[in-house]
Chains A and B, each alone.
Chain A
Amino acid sequence: MSGADNVVWLGTPAFPEAAREALADTRLRANLRRATGTIRDKRLAVAAELDDWEELRETAATIKRRTLRHLDHHLLRLEKAVTAAGGTVHWAADAAEANRIVTGLVEATGEKEVVKVKSMATQEIGLNEALADAGIRAYETDLAELIVQLGGDRPSHILVPAIHRGRSEIREIFRREMGEWGRPAPETLTDDPRDLAEAARLHLREKFLRAKVAVSGANFAAADTGTVVVVESEGNGRMCLTLPETLITVMGIEKVLPAFADLDVFLQLLPRSSTGERMNPYTSLWTGVTEGDGPRDFHLVLLDNGRTATLADEVGRQALNCIRCSACLNVCPVYERTGGHAYGSVYPGPIGAVLTPQLVGVENAASLPFASTLCGACYDACPVKIDIPEVLAHLRAEAVEAKRRDRLLPTTEALAMKAAAAVLSSPKRLAAAQRLAAFGARLVAREGRIGYLPGPLAGWSATRDAPAPARESMRAWWRRTRTNRRDKGRTTAKGKEAR
C-alpha cells in the first residue's frame, strides 16, 4: 500500500461528499469557470491552426500504444543509453523504494536542501514529505507549486496546481509564509500579478543560486539517445536543470518514447493541448552529463508504482498514454464545478478518475470512476486519444466486481439493479411493471408530474419534477391500435411474440 497512501490522499471523503463541499464554494466555482474557459478557448484556437491535428493525435496514440506493448524493451534501451552518456539509472517498484533511492542520493551529497521543478511523479510518491523526514528541505520552484507549498495546500490541477486560489489569497500566503522559507515578501506587496511574480522571482533566485541538488520530473525520455525532456513556461526548470551539481530525475516508466524523433509529434501536441500555446517557452533536453556544462552527476529513477499492473489491463492501459497536458480537466463539466481537490488524488479530473483507481487498486478509489456523466468531452480533447469514457465504464464494472468479490454486495443498489434487470429482460414483466407504474402514478402525480420523492430518488426530486409514467405504454398502445390478427400471427411465427 506504500504507493496508494500518496496517490490517494488519506482521509478524503468519497467524491460525491467532497464535491458537495467544493460546490458550496462560489468563489472557487467562479475561479475555475474563468480559468478553464480561457484555456479551453485558447486550446481550440491553436489546435485548429494545424491541418494535421487529427493525424498528429492518431500518430501519438499509435506511438504510445506500440511503446507500451514493448515497454520493457524500450526501458532497457533507455537505461543503456543513459548509462553510456554518464548517468545512473535506478529502478523503483513503488513509492517507498523511489523515496529511499532519492533520499539516499541527496544524503550522499551531504546537502540539506534541494530545489524542485514541478513534477507529478514526485507528488505521486510524496517525495517532499519523505525528504522532510530525513531532514532535507525541498523547495518547489514552479510559481503555482510554490503557492501550493507555501499555503500548506494540495494541488488541484495538473498544469495549474493553484487554480483554486485567487490573487488576494496568493498575496496573503506570500506575506505570511515566504519569510519562513527564505527571502520574505516585500512589505508593500500588492495583489497585482506582476508584483506577485516579482516577489516569487526574488524569493526563488536565492534558492537557485544556493542549491547544489535538484529534483525534476520528466515529460519524455528518448530510449535511443537517453535524452530526458522537461517542458515548462517560467524558466525555473531551466535553472534547476543546469545550475546544481547533482540532478535527480524521477520519471514514471510510461514516459519513455522509442526515439528522439518521436518528440516531433509530442512537442507539437503538448503545449497546444495544455496551455493553448504553439510552443512552450522552455524546453530543456539533456543527455547524461557533459564535461564543464550543467550537473556533474545525473540520476534517473524509473518509477513503476502501479504502472505495470495498469499495463496488464487491456482496456485500462491506455491511461498510460497520458502526457499530463490537462486538456481533459479543462473541458470536463464535472471538474469545472468541483475543482481538483474533490478527486482526493494527485491526479484530478477525468484522467485522474481513470488513472488513480488503476494505480492504487479500484477498491481504494471506488467513487472516482462514477465521477463523470460519460459526456465524452474529455475523449475529444485528449491529444493522445485516451478513450476516457470507455475506461470509466470499464472501471465501474471492476468496482462493482470488487464489491461482489469482497461480499460487500448485495447493496441496495445491487438489489435494485438485479430487480431492474429481471424486469427489463422480459417483455411480459416489463409490460406488467408498466401497468403497475401507471397505476401508482395516478395516485401520486399532479398534472402529469411527480414532485418530492423519498429514498435514493430524493437527490433528484430536490430540484426537479419527475414526469409520471404514461397511462398507456407504447407497447400497449401498439397492441391496442395497430396489431391486427395477421400481424399477431406473423410475429408469433417469427418468435418475436412476447415471452
Chain B
Amino acid sequence: MRIALFITCFNDTMFPRTGQAVTALLERLGHTVEFPQGQTCCGQMHFNTGYRPEALPMVRRFTEAFAGYDAVVAPSGSCAGMVRDHHRTVAAQYGDTALTEAVEQVAPTVYELSELLVDVLGVTDVGAYFPHRVTYHPTCHSLRMLRVGDRPLRLLRAVKGIDLVELPAADSCCGFGGTFALKNADVSNAMLADKMRHVLDTGAEFLTAGDNSCLTHIGGGLSRLRTGVGTLHLAEILASTEGDSR
C-alpha cells in the first residue's frame, strides 16, 4: 500500500519526531511511506479564523501534493478533519469545479493515524513497548469531527508494559482552539487549568493525544508549573519498542 505522510505544517516545524515515529511505525508494519515534498499546510488556521480566501491556495496545493495515493496519513485529528470536512467548503466557495472534483477525490483518502491503523491496516497491536504510566486526552476534533471513538485507546491498551489510566473529564476541551488561545487567552487559561488538574490527578508520567497542538497547549502549562509530566504524541508511544531508551 502506498501511504503518503501528511506531516502538517505545525509538526513539520515543531515536532519532526512525531513524523519520524509515524514513518518508523508504518515501516515496521511492512508498509512503504512516502513524503510528498510539495506539501505545506491544510489551511485550518486561516479557515477557522475567518480568512477563507487565504486558505484557498493551501487547499489547492494539498490536493496536488496528495493526489493518487492509496491512503494519506496525518498525525493530527484536527488537520485530517479540516481536509475531510472543510476543503470542499473552501473549494466550493472560492475555487472552481476542477478543484472541487480534486478535493472529492483526495479528501476521502485522508486518515488520522489511529483510523489508518485500525480501519485501513486492520491492526490494534502494533508491537509497541512503553513501560510507563500514561493517560490519554481525546482531542475535540478527533472525538467529534472524525469520530475516532476508542480507536486510540484500543491501540494504547495493546502496548506492552503500559499502565494506561483514565483521564477524568477526558472529553472536555483543553482550551486551545487554535487562535482562540490568543483571542480569548483568559478563558483558554481557565480551561487549561482544569485540564491540568485532571491530568495531575491521574498520577501519569505522560499525557498522550493524537494532536500535538493540544499537547503543546497542555504541555506548555504543565512545563510552566514544573509538574514533571511529559507530553508525547500517540505515534511516538506506538513507535516505541523494547530497544528504545525511554
Give residues in A with beta carbon < 8 Å to B.
15-16, 19-20, 23, 29, 333-334, 337-338, 369-377, 379-380, 393, 396-401, 413-414, 417-418, 420-421, 424-427, 430, 433-434, 437, 449, 456-457, 459-460, 462-467, 469-470, 472-475, 477-479, 482-483, 491, 495-499
- Given A333-B172, A469-B13, CB of A23 within 8 Å of CB of B38: no
CB of B238 within 8 A of chain A? no
What are 22 A-B contacts defined by CB distance under 8 Å?
A: A19-B186, A333-B172, A333-B173, A333-B191, A375-B177, A380-B144, A401-B50, A418-B54, A421-B57, A424-B43, A459-B185, A463-B189, A463-B192, A463-B220, A463-B221, A464-B223, A465-B220, A470-B15, A475-B12, A475-B37, A495-B38, A499-B38
**Which of A397, A413, A420, A427 makes the CB contact (< 8 A) with B39?**
A427
CB of B49 within 8 A of chain A? yes
**Which of B20, B48, B192 makes the CB contact (< 8 A) with A464?**
B192
Decide: B224 and A463 in contact? CB cutoff 8 A. Answer: yes
- Given A375-B144, A424-B58, CB of A462 within 8 Å of CB of B185: yes
Decide: A498 and B49 in contact? CB cutoff 8 A. Answer: no
Q: Which residues of A have CB within 8 Å of B171?
A: 377
Decide: A393 and B47 in contact? CB cutoff 8 A. Answer: yes
Q: Complex formed: what's the CA distance from A496 to B140 in Å?
A: 32
Decide: B48 and A374 in contact? CB cutoff 8 A. Answer: yes
Q: Which residues of B have CB within 8 Å of A449?
A: 223
- List the B residue with the shortest CB-CB distance to A497: B37
Q: Which residues of A have CB within 8 Å of B221?
A: 463-464
Shortest Cβ distance from residue B61 to the other chain A in the assembled complex, whole angstroms: 6
B1-57 at interface with A (beta carbon < 8 Å): 7, 9, 11-17, 19-20, 35-41, 43, 45-52, 54-55, 57
Q: Lowest 5 A-B CB distances belong to which pairs? A: A459-B185, A373-B177, A464-B220, A396-B50, A376-B144
Give residues in B with beta carbon < 8 Å to A.
7, 9, 11-17, 19-20, 35-41, 43, 45-52, 54-55, 57-58, 61, 64-65, 86, 140-141, 143-145, 171-173, 175-192, 216-217, 219-221, 223-224
Q: Which residues of A have CB within 8 Å of B55?
A: 421
Given pairs A377-B144, A397-B50, A434-B12, 18 additional interface contacts (CB within 8 A): A16-B185, A333-B191, A334-B187, A373-B175, A373-B176, A373-B191, A377-B172, A400-B50, A400-B51, A413-B49, A462-B185, A469-B13, A470-B14, A473-B13, A474-B12, A491-B36, A496-B65, A498-B38
- Given A19-B187, A370-B183, CB of A421 within 8 Å of CB of B54: yes
Decide: B140 and A459 in contact? CB cutoff 8 A. Answer: no
- List the B residue with the shortest CB-CB distance to A17: B186
Shortest Cβ distance from residue A133 to the other chain B in the assembled complex, whole angstroms: 37
- List the B residue with the shortest CB-CB distance to A33: B194
Name the residue in A464, A498, A499 with the highest tally of chain B Cβ atoms < 10 Å from its Cβ. A464
Q: Complex formed: what's the CA distance from A399 to B49 in Å?
A: 10
Q: Which residues of A have CB within 8 Å of B51?
A: 397, 400, 414, 417, 421
Interface of A is mostly: helix
Shortest Cβ distance from residue A199 to the other chain B in the assembled complex, whole angstroms: 35
Decide: A498 and B37 in contact? CB cutoff 8 A. Answer: yes
Q: Complex formed: what's the CA distance from A473 to B20 in Å?
A: 11
Decide: B48 and A20 in contact? CB cutoff 8 A. Answer: no
Decide: B7 and A460 in contact? CB cutoff 8 A. Answer: no
- Given A396-B50, A417-B49, A425-B40, CB of A430 within 8 Å of CB of B9: yes
Q: Which residues of A have CB within 8 Å of B38?
A: 427, 491, 495-499
Q: Which residues of A have CB within 8 Å of B143?
A: 376
Name the residue in A400, A421, A497 with the highest tally of chain B Cβ atoms < 10 Å from its Cβ. A421
Decide: A372 and B180 in contact? CB cutoff 8 A. Answer: yes
- List the A residue with the shortest CB-CB distance to B43: A424
Decide: A23 and B190 in contact? CB cutoff 8 A. Answer: yes
Q: Which residues of A have CB within 8 Å of B9?
A: 424, 430
- List the B residue with the shortest CB-CB distance to A393: B48
Q: Which residues of A have CB within 8 Å of B36?
A: 491, 496
**Which of B57, B145, B176, B187 makes the CB contact (< 8 A) with A425?**
B57
Shortest Cβ distance from residue A469 to the other chain B in the assembled complex, whole angstroms: 5
Q: Complex formed: what's the CA distance from A147 to B10 in Å?
A: 50
- Given A417-B46, A496-B37, CB of A370 within 8 Å of CB of B16: no
Q: Complex formed: what's the CA distance from A379 to B85 in Å?
A: 15
Q: Complex formed: what's the CA distance from A397 to B48 in Å?
A: 8
**Which of A376, A426, A437, A477 makes the CB contact (< 8 A) with B40?**
A426
Q: Complex formed: what's the CA distance from A373 to B55 in Å?
A: 19
